């Protein structure tokens, strides 16, 4: 398994404890689950519904609720520190985002090398050369990759082609890299979604905590 595949299937990082918080722009909703239960996911879905204008919805409420529940449960399986989804005012899914901790063997790679890992997708092939930049964020230096990939086989919620933005953030306060990935397949909203992901990255806060004997990446307690 390559290190990039480890980011797709994150494993625990030798007990490092940290928390992230993000200010989400309009249309984005946090769907992080503590235990991964249907009840938790349903509560998240109800929060999304409550924020929608019923007069603008073009899907049935139960359809939107079911979609949020399924996406929240699927995201939880990847053990994220934080996960979020974006919906249009019509109630259509626009994008998904997750944040994980990544601690490669041998310590942090250089940003240029990390950028290559960011577009090494499991079960997918890059369609063209990605856009690679190295923004300086308030939470630390980063490598940012934006591109389009073709999935080698169809998966849940997935079309054959999808767009993504992926950040690896080098926070000075923790050993792990913080990897944030957003994906979508509605190409008509490419630039709008990518811009909102950049806003999330600039507002991301990363806090270190005490090391623990078990569990590498712990969500902050949101009550």
Could you tell me the residue ranges of all domains in the chain? 3-208
Q: What residues form DSSP beta bridges with 148?
A: 163
The per-residue pLDDT for 188 is 72
pTM higher than 0.75: yes
3-state class (DSSP) for residue 91: coil
The 10s digit of each residue's pLDDT in 130-153 is 999 999 999 999 999 999 988 876
CA distance 134 to 144: 6
The 10s digit of each residue's pLDDT in 10-23 is 434 445 788 899 99
Dihedral sign of CA atoms 207, 213, 214, 216 in order = positive
Query: For each successive 10 residues of the chain (223 residues), what is the average pLDDT?
Result: 35 64 94 96 98 96 97 96 96 96 85 91 84 96 94 60 94 92 86 95 87 35 30
The per-residue pLDDT for 55 is 95
The per-residue pLDDT for 211 is 38
The per-residue pLDDT for 154 is 57
Count of residues in the chain = 223
> Contact at 8 Å (CB) between 180 and 97?
yes
Calculate ∠ Cα 143-84-219, nearest 5°: 80
Q: Could you give phi then psi for residue 184, rounded to 5 degrees?
A: -160, 165
Q: Which fold has domain 3-208?
A: Protein Transport Mog1p; Chain A (3.40.1000)
The per-residue pLDDT for 212 is 32
> Contact at 8 Å (CB) between 148 and 162?
yes
CB atoms within 10 A of CB 105: 6
Q: Could you give phi then psi for residue 75, rounded to 5 degrees?
A: -65, -40
Dihedral angle of Cα 47, 48, 54, 57, to the nearest 10 degrees? -170
Dihedral sign of CA atoms 60, 52, 34, 180 in order = positive
């Amino acid at each position: 398994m390559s290190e990039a595949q480890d980011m797709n299937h994150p494993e625990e990082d030798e007990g490092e404890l940290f928390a992230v918080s993000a200010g989400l722009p309009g249309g984005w909703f946090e769907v992080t689950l503590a235990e991964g239960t249907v009840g938790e996911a349903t509560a998240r879905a109800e929060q999304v519904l409550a924020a929608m204008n019923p007069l603008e919805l073009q899907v049935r409420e139960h359809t939107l609720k079911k979609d949020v529940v399924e996406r929240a449960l699927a995201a939880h399986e990847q053990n994220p520190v934080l996960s979020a989804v974006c919906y249009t005012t019509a109630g259509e899914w626009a994008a998904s985002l997750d944040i994980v901790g990544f601690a490669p063997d041998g310590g942090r790679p250089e940003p240029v090398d990390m950028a290559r890992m960011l577009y090494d997708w499991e079960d997918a092939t890059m369609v063209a050369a990605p856009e690679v930049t190295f923004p300086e964020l308030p939470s630390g230096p980063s490598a940012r990759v934006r591109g389009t990939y073709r999935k080698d086989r169809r998966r849940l919620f997935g079309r054959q082609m999808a767009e993504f933005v992926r950040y690896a953030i080098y926070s000075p306060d923790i050993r792990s890299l913080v990897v944030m990935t957003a994906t979508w397949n509605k190409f008509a909203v490419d630039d709008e979604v990518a811009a909102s992901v950049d806003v999330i990255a600039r507002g991301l806060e990363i806090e270190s905590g005490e090391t623990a004997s078990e569990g590498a990446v712990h969500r902050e307690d949101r009550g």
